[in-house]
Structure 1
C-alpha cells in the first residue's frame, strides 16, 4: 500500500481502525474477498493489520502483524490462507488510541472464554477510561476482550449485552463466537458501521458482510447497504440478523472528521439517520467535500486579481479544491501531484526538524514548475493539524518555484483539541491551532501564507446535513466547540455557543514572512 503524503500531516489525527467481517452458513474461502475490503480501509490504520477465521466446528486460524496490509499479507503469506474455508471472518487495520504499538495490541483479538469457547474481537473507537484504574500498556480493545473472557453469564447474548451496557465512550465493533457474529455501535454513533449481503456467483453461497465504510463493502461485491444504527447490539447467524438491544431514538454525536479526512471518498457520508436503509440515498464523502469547497468560497472568497490558479492538495483536498475554483471562477490546475515511492516510511514527517520536512516534500510531491512560476495560487486542503506539511509546501512554492503568493483555504475549522473518542491526537501542543491559541493571523504567518481561511463550524455542518439532523455531530476537536462526553464517558454540560465564527486572515498587501 502506498501512502499519500498528506497522511503524514495527519499523523497526530489517527483513527483507531478499520473493520471488515463476514459470516456464511457453511465454511467458505473468504480470505481474498475480505482482504479487498481491508485495503480500502488502509488509511484508517497503518500500525498493524490482521485477520481471524473460525470454522463451523470451532477451528481457528489467525495471522496479524505490525505494518500495512500489503506488508503484513505479502504474496507468500496470502497463499497460506487463500483456500482456507471458515464460517466467520474478522479483519482489522489499526492505529492505536490507547496502549503502545506491539503485536499484543494488533487486532483482531482472539481469546478463549472461561467456558472454553474461542471468540474474536475487532473494535473501532475508544472505550472511556476508568477513574479507578491505572493506565495500561494493553489497548482498550484487549482489555475489553479480557473482560468478556471472564464474564459469567450463561449465553453469548447475555455476556455481550451486559458488558457493553456497562461501557461508555466510542465503539463500533464485531465479535465472532460459536453462537454467531455480533455487531455493536455505541449510543452516540461516533464511529460508522455498515453491512450487507453478497452472493458468490459460483457456489451461490449467501455471505453476510460488515465493514467500517460502504466503500469496503462495495469493493467486496455488496451493492445494497445497511447501517448499524447507534445504540444497537445485534447477532447474525444461520437464522439471519437478530436485534438484541436497540436504544430509543436520541441525540447522536457522529464524528465529523470521518467526512473531512478519514473515510474513502467514494463511500457514503457519516450522517445521522433514522432508518438503516437510508444510507443508500446518502451523499458520498466526495459530495460533502465538494459542497464544503463551495461554502468555503462563499465564506472566504478570493478575488481574481489575487490568484491565478486554484490547487487542491493531493488526496482529500482535490474535490473541495475543484469546487472552490468553480465557485470563485478561477481556473483549477493540478500543479502539485503525488510521487508514489515504495517502500514508504510512513513516519518520515514526524521529524522535529522543519528543515527535514522541506526535503521530504520535494521528494514526494511533483511540482509543475512551468505552471507555477510567477503565479499567485490558492492551496485548498481538507485540514491543518500540525502544519508541517502545509508550511513545507508554502515555503517550497515561494522559494523554489517562484510563486508570488500562496493563499490557504481549509475545508474544516481549526483543530485545537485532542480527541478521546477514537482519533489519536496525542496532545494539544502538537496542534498548530492550539499552540497559537487559535489566532488565525499568527497561524497564517507561521505557515508563511499570504492569507488563510478555515471553513466555519456552521459551514461544515451545512455541507453535511439537512435541517433535521444538523445537531447530530461531534465537533469537539474544533475551535469553540466541546465534546459530548469527557474521557471517562461522563456527559459534559451543554455550553451556549457563540455566533458563527469565520476563521479568516487576509494580508495580501503585506505578505507573511517565510519562517525557517
Structure 2
C-alpha cells in the first residue's frame, strides 16, 4: 500500500532527489481516503448529474476520474487523469448519453495511478457488459485472481475491482442479481460498489460496512418516475436536490430497474465494523455518514477533547481545514476564544515545484500562513484531526512559534494512529507511523510542542454515537484498527502476494 514511499526510501534505491522524498513525506503525513463513487438511474442527463456528484466527492480522490453511461442499448465510458472538472467539459459530457450513469474519483493504493486502472471499469462478460466503480480494498484478491485465471479469466487491468466482475462472469447462479450476490460473498475486505449493465444499476456494501454508501431520490416532475441516486457521501445529494432515503446496509445488494428497487442480502451474520475515520477526517462535515451528521460528531470530538485534556491558553486555532469543526467544539466547551490563526491557500495542489530540500518547511508554508497579529504573545492550542508521521505537525508548530506564540499546545481529535489500514485507505507501513514507535511524550518532543494530548478511544466512539440514533450503531460497531491493531478481518498485505495489483 506504500509503493511510492517504498520506491523512494526502500533498500537499494539511490540517487533519489530530496524534493521527491519531501513530497512523499508530505503525502503520507495524512491518511487519504481512496475513492468516491456515484450512480444515477432514470434521468435524461444522467452523466451530467454524475459529474456534479463527483464534483462534490472530489476530496475522496484527486488522481483520476471516470463516468460510464448507458441508454438501454449502448454503454459509453470516459476516464482521465486529474480532477473531475478538468476531465469532464461540456463537450465530453455530450459523448455520454443515456438515462443511467455511474462515476468514480480515485486515489491509488496498492498499485500505480495509471489511466489503465481508472474507473469505472467496463468488461464484456458471459453475463453481458458490466461496468463497476469501487471504493475500498479487497484483502483476499491474490487467491481469487489466481483461481479465476486458472479457470480462463483474462484480466484487462491490475485493479482488484475487476476481480468482482470476473467472479460474476464465472458464477453458476441463474439470475444476474444472484450472480452478483454470489460473487460478493466470495471476496473479503472493504467494498462499497456501484455497477451498471445496459439497463440496470446495482449498489452494494461489504458485510462489515467499512465504507459508506447512501441512496437518495429525486422526485419526478409532473408524474414522471423518480430518479434514484447512490453516492459515497450525502453531500453529493445536496447539489442534485436529491432527498436522502437511507444507507445501503452492510451485506446488502440493491438493484434498480424499470421494475423498481429490489434488495437482497448476501451476508447477514458478519459483525459490523464501519470505518470511524470517516467521521474523524475523510468525509465532508456536511455529509451524513452511517446515518449521522459528520459535523455533529466532530463538534463532540472537540468538546470531549477539551474535557479530557484542558490546558490554560489564550486562543484555540484549528489546522485548516480538517481541524476546524473539532476546534469549534473545543473552544465552546473550554470557553477559550477560537480564531483562524492559520490561513490555508486552497490553490496548492498535491504537487508543486519546490526549492532545494535545505529550504526547510517550504511545503507547509506554501499551504498555510500564520496570522502574526493573532498569534503574537499568545498561548495557543492547535487542534488537528491526526498525527501520522509527525513531520507536518512539527513544521506547523515551528511556524506558529515563529509568528510569536509564547506556548503551543497540540490537541488531536482522535487516538494515536498505531496501525496501517488495509480497507481502502492510503497509509504508511507501521514503521513510519510515529505513534507506533514513540510514546506521546516522545512525539511531543519531536513536534516541538509544549504539550500534546490525543482524544481517547472511548471518547472518540462516544462522540460518534452520542445523541441521535446512528442507524442503531453502537460504539463497538466501528472499525478502530488503526488505533488498536485489532483488524475485523484476517487481513493480507497484498504487496506480499500480488505486487502489481492496484486498488481503487
How would you bin the TM-score normalised by the shorter chain?
0.7 to 0.9
Q: What is the aligned length?
A: 456
Task: Trace 1:153-164 onto structure 2 (pairs within 5 A).
Answer: 153-164=173-184
Q: Which residue of 2 aligns with 1:99?
A: 111
**Structure 2 CA distance for partners of 1:398 and 1:355, relative to 1, 3 Å:** farther
Q: Does 1:23 align with 2:47?
A: no
Show the counterpart of 2:405. 403
Quote the residue 1:118 is aligned against: 129
TM-score normalised per structure 2: 0.84
Residues 8, 40 of structure 1: CA spacing in aligned structure 2 closer, same or farther, 3 A cutoff?
A: farther
In the superposition, relative to structure 1, how do residues 443 and 103 fare at CA in structure 2: closer, same or farther (>3 Å)? same
Of the three residues 466, 470, 478, the one matched with 2:475 is: 470
Q: Is the 8 A contact 1:9 1:389 kept in 2?
A: no
TM-score, with structure 1 as normaliser: 0.82
1:65 aligns with 2:80: yes
The answer to whether 1:32 aligns with 2:34 is no
Deviation at 1:54, TM superposition (A): 1.1
C-alpha distance in structure 2 between counterparts of 1:132 and 1:356, whole Å: 47
Judge conservation of contact 1:8–1:348 (CA < 8 Å) in 2.
no
Distance 1:354 1:376 in 2: 31
- After TM superposition, give the deviation of residue 11 of structure 1 in Å: 5.8
Query: What's the secondary structure of 1:56's corresponding residue?
Result: coil
> Aligned-pair distance for 1:179?
5.2
Corresponding residue for residue 241 of structure 2: 221
Name the residue aligned to 2:488. Answer: 484
Q: In 1, are the aligned partners of 2:181 and 2:266 still within 8 Å (CA)?
A: no
Distance in 2 (CA, whole Å) between partners of 1:411 and 1:11 is 16
Q: In the alignment, which residue of structure 2 is the partner of 1:440?
A: 440
Task: Name structure 1 gaps, 5 residues minimum.
Answer: 271-278, 490-516
State yes or no: 1:412 paired with 2:414: yes
CA RMSD of aligned residues (A): 2.7
Q: CA deviation at 1:253?
A: 0.3
- The aligned runs of 1:113-152 (5 Å cut-off) are 113-114=125-126, 117-130=128-141, 132=143, 138-152=158-172
What whole-Å deviation, never above 9, does each CA across 1:424-469 have from its counterpart, x for those lacking one? 21412332212xx240011111111110000010000010115961
Q: Return the alpha-carbon distance in structure 1 between the equivalents of residues 386 and 261 of structure 2.
A: 39
Distance 1:453 1:150 in 2: 52
Residue 124 of structure 1 deviates from its aligned partner by 0.8
1:172/1:70 Cα in 2 relative to 1: closer, same or farther (>3 Å)?
Answer: same
Which residue of 2 is the match for residue 332 of structure 1? 338
- Higher relative CO (Cα under 8 Å, sequence separation at least 6) belongs to 2
Q: Which residue of 2 aligns with 1:251?
A: 271
Aligned CA distance change for structure 1 residues 256 and 454 (closer, same or farther; 3 Å): same
3-state SS of 1:70 partner: helix
SS at match of 2:482: coil
What are the residue-to-residue correspondences of 1:256-275 with 2, within 5 Å? 256-270=276-290
- Contact 1:377–1:403 (CA<8 Å) still a contact in 2? yes
Instruction: Report if the CA contact (8 A) 1:416-1:438 is conserved.
Output: no
Aligned in 2, Cα 1:345/1:269: closer, same or farther, shift over 3 Å? closer
Conserved? CA contact 1:112–1:149, under 8 Å: no
Q: 1:369 is matched with which residue: 351, 365, 372?
A: 372
Q: Deviations over 1:253-281 (max 9, x none)?
A: 010011111101101133xxxxxxxx3xx
- The runs of 5 or more residues in structure 2 that have no matched partner are 1-22, 147-154, 467-471, 494-504
User: CA–CA distance in 1 between the matches of 2:417 and 2:174?
Assistant: 46
**Which secondary structure state, in structure 2, belongs to the residue aligned with residue 224 of structure 1?**
strand
Q: Quick check: 1:51 aligned with 2:67?
A: yes
Q: Distance in 2 between matches of 1:96 and 1:125?
A: 11
> 1:367: Cα distance to partner?
1.9
**Given that residues 21 and 174 in structure 1 are in contact (C-alpha distance below 8 angstroms), is that contact kept between their aligned partners in structure 2?**
yes
Change (3 A) 1:163 1:250: closer
Asked whether the 8 Å contact 1:16–1:423 carries over to 2, the reply is yes
Q: How do 1:291-306 residues align onto structure 2 when only pairs under 5 Å count?
A: 291-303=300-312
Structure-1 separation of matches of 2:220 and 2:145: 48
